[in-house]
Amino acid sequence: MSRLSRQLTPRRLKLAFYLTLIAILVLVGYRIYLSFFEQTYHAVHAEQIERIQARAGDGLHFAVVGNINNSVGLFERKMIPMLNRADLDFVVSAGNAVSGGGEDKYRALYRTLSHLEMPYLLTVGEKESGAFGSFNYYEHFGPYFFGFRAGGSQFLFLDSTDPDTYPFQLHWLREQLRDPSPRHRFIFIGHPMFEAAKESPLDFDDQYLADTAFRDRLHHLFVEHDVDAVFSSNLHLFDHQVQDGVDYVVTGGAGGLVLNDETSFYHYVDVTTTDQAVSIQVKRLDIGQHEIFKTLESLWFFIHSLFYVGRLNFLLVLGLLTLLAIKLYSAIFVERDYYRNYDLDISPWRDRPLRIAMVTNNFLPFIGGVPISIDRLRRGLEQLSHRVRIIAPSYAGQDDRDTDVVRIPSLFSMGRHDEFRLANPLSPRIRRGLKDFAPDLVHIHHPFWLGWTALWRARRLRVPTVFTYHTRLEHYSHFVPLPGPLFRNLIAHTAIRRFANRCTGVIVPTESAEEYLRVIGVTSPIYVHPTGIDFDRFQAVDPASVEALRRAQGIGEDERVLVSVSRLSQEKNIDFLIAAVAELHRRTDRGFRCLIIGEGEERDRLQADIEQLGLGDTVTLVGGVPPDEMPRYYHLGDAFVFASKSETQGMVILEAMAAGLPVIAVRSSGIDDVVKNETNGFKTAEDIDRWSSAARRLIEDDTLRAAMAEQAVTTARRHAIDHFARDVAASYRQILALYHWQERRPG
């Protein structure tokens, strides 16, 4: 980037900042101006009727307009001056005087009509009642249907927008028309009653009065009582027709959308009454508006509407502009250092044991990747002389002798064996467990439920928090009573990002997990620490006990054994694994067995699928196995098979490798960092053909399997618990130093 371009960017940002400040000041000033110069108004029609009756003589001269649609440029600036020069007694809108029923549109209309030098009245039209506009019409102008007499004529206004009132309006209208004294009668109704003689491409059938029974009864009353004319709007044209002696006039050219052709043009209707006659003439207006001025008018009307009327709208936009100004100020004037602080002083925590509180939504005796990972980290830290306290849900069969595990009562449990416990996040045991322990740091293992409580408590204790990203939440949407795509695509990622950014630091087991967190917007420091395994325990297995287990499972001497360890749940993709094993069974002549170790709510359905595929003698759902027995089951196998795509690391893969098993897994995050393709195993796409081909190579090629087994052990050795605990403890010290440096930093 050139020096000139580097200088232009800050200049542009500063210009944007100052323009935003000016916009804020202008908007606030305009809002203050409007508050003083545009006052509220109520029951306008009552005053207008009194004015009409006061100035009416024996004859009347009035104008009828339709579809004003808040047009400032045309109606206010061009048509109103013409109406003022026409020596009219009053003006009537036949409907759609506003462009929408919002408060802002009514106030803008009131300001427009104030330029008339004669009284005016409004008919309720489709636009007046839209967007909850009926309330605004009633409050500012008066009842929806009403009538009055002036100059020997009767004027009756109907509401065609509310079918529920039609029966009552008919009764009211019949009573009004009983009076024989008026020389002339005029009706105003927003929707046209009869189809216009000419069609406009801007108009549709639903713009007419839809209730034909109501229409016919109205027409009968009009004919019976010698109504002179019925005026409507709602169409973008002028139409005048006579039905059974009654003039029906549609006027729709007072400012709204028109085509300016022979059918649709700007106009108003001029009406004159004498003792015996009524004259109705259309006044075509040769007016129009340039598109540029129309656009500017729309923009100004939008600004006026937005800030004059709705205080909430005004505050919202003002708030957004203020946030923009703050953001620009921060981007321009606040110095930033995007590199990590490499000068953190960890010496206060280097030579003393740390007190670590861990908060988790599940723990032993529940068997799962997260509880096992927590237990291993705890044991590794305690071997390094650190003190660890775990806050977790209570379970049946838990070890109550462990005083450094604080058990929280559960609100309810879920799952086949009640393995998922929702602990009470408001339990006082959480507060006491943390306060009495006085931790240096709180390590949170889930971004929800007890995790929220732990984050809040840590802030009260003024200690840093670290969050371990164990689980890809988007793969657990089937547990959540929300639409799957909504949870997967929005809520899960948002929850993780927001929680991680509230923590002082984040621990992930793989580089792919770190990449994911950065992509979704996590800005907290991230430390990559693959979860440790008890490597030696998976090496030291008595061959005789393995042979005894082989006989107990009924496995033949020449059969190869595929082992899988997974909870039997939807997110673990067991259906794919069973289907792939079925394909492998068809392709190979080598005898093999597949042992799937684990429990879960899908067990019965999966067992039924196994039987249906004819795999009852090939695939065995072993069920849950105690952790101490797992090394024997791993050593029973010749290869480890795995199909889950919801892992951030997949500890069972490392455990299998520690027992000398090469791996066949579906490629996904977590898996990709551990399994080196064609080195310590195979990782394939979620494709049955590719997966079964890789599995066939492993069970049929003894030399290949032995070479991969050796590489698998080498990979697992690098993930021993002692290395894991030391690395995590070092990150704890970094997080502590960062937290206390941030606490001391000014501002």
Tokens for 315? 């505050």
For the stretch 526-541, pLDDT in tens is 999 888 888 888 988 8
Q: What is the dihedral of CA 144, 150, 152, 155, to 10 degrees?
A: -10
Residue 502: helix, strand or coil by DSSP?
helix
pLDDT of residue 722: 85
What is the pTM assigned to this prediction?
0.52
Which DSSP letter does residue 409 get? P
Given a cut of 70, whether residue 81 has pLDDT beyond it is yes
Nearest to 125 by CA among 233, 25, 219: 233
pLDDT of residue 742: 84
Higher pLDDT, 248 or 328: 248
Mean pLDDT to the nearest integer, 594-612:
93
For the stretch 264-323, pLDDT in tens is 899 999 999 998 899 999 999 988 655 555 555 555 555 555 554 455 565 666 667 777
Whose structure tokens read 């203020």? 322
Mean pLDDT to the nearest integer, 400-425:
80
For the stretch 306-365, pLDDT in tens is 554 455 565 666 667 777 777 766 666 655 555 566 678 888 998 899 999 999 999 988
**What is the side-by-side order of every strand in the sheet holding 355-359?**
405-408, 387-393, 355-359, 441-444, 465-468, 505-508, 526-528
Q: How many Å separate Cα 606 from the centre of its chain? A: 35
For the stretch 127-170, pLDDT in tens is 999 878 899 999 999 999 999 999 999 999 999 999 999 999 99
pLDDT of residue 6: 43
Q: How confident is the model at residue 2 (pLDDT cuts 50, 70, 90)?
A: very low
Q: Which of 24-28, 414-418, 536-540 comes out lowest in average pLDDT?
A: 414-418
Helices 574-587 and 603-612 sit at what angle, rounded to 10 degrees?
20
Cis peptide before 509 (omega within 30 of 0): no
Q: How many Å separate Cα 465 from the centre of its chain? A: 28
Whose structure tokens read 């105003």? 188
pLDDT of residue 699: 93
Given a cut of 50, whether residue 477 has pLDDT beyond it is no
Q: How confident is the model at residue 72 (pLDDT cuts 50, 70, 90)?
A: confident
742: exposed, middle or buried (C-beta count within 10 Å: 0-12, 13-18, 19+)? exposed
Which DSSP letter does residue 477 get? G
For the stretch 645-679, pLDDT in tens is 766 567 889 999 999 999 999 987 667 778 899 99
Q: How confident is the model at residue 412 (pLDDT cuts 50, 70, 90)?
A: confident
Q: Which of 336-340, 365-369, 502-506 comes out lowest in average pLDDT?
A: 336-340
Q: How many Å separate Cα 284 from the centre of its chain? A: 51
